[in-house]
Amino acid sequence: MENKSNITYKVNKAINAEDLAKVFKASGIKRPADDLPRLQKMIDNSNIILTAWYGEEIIGIARALTDYSYCCYLSDLAIDKKYQHQGIGKELVHLLQEHLGDEVALLLLSSPTAMEYYPHIGFNKIENGFIIPRKPF
């Protein structure tokens, strides 16, 4: 486990599909990590990308879509497994909230395995949502 004080955070620092794939693979999150053109579209069409770095190594990401006025969808929150349980995800969410302001609601869809995690970093569970799922990758 690395020293938390050596972690730096960046807002909208340019990253590429390979960077995103690296974090997805290292975190264990289920994403199309080998489809680099799709990952590049995910980057290009995001409104906000917050990243966590250990030196020159990207170790975490929060990727979001927002209207900056009413709501923001947190599409990805992924932390390299070697750096999990150090508050990095919580800090990325905190920085995202600061960037958005108090008028914007932050929404996300959780994987079943992460349902216990999100309440620990400030999210409230809701029961009034719906989804039309994407085709599996």
Q: 128 lies in a domain? A: no
Picking from 48, 61, 64, the residue whose alpha carbon sits closest to that of residue 18 is 61
User: How many domains does one find in the chain?
Assistant: 1
CATH number at residue 31: 3.40.630.30
Q: Would strands 48-54 and 7-11 be described as parallel, antiparallel, or unpaired?
A: antiparallel
The four Cα atoms 76, 80, 86, 88 give a dihedral, to 10 degrees, of: -30
Which element (helix H / strand E) includes 8? strand 7-11
Q: 135 lies in a domain? A: no
Q: 127 lies in a domain? A: no
Q: Flag whether the pTM goes above 0.75.
A: yes
Q: 133 lies in a domain? A: no
Per-residue pLDDT of the chain (137 residues; tens, 9 = 90+): 445 569 999 999 999 999 999 999 999 999 999 999 999 999 999 999 999 999 999 999 999 999 999 999 999 999 999 999 999 999 999 999 999 999 999 999 887 778 888 888 888 888 888 878 878 87
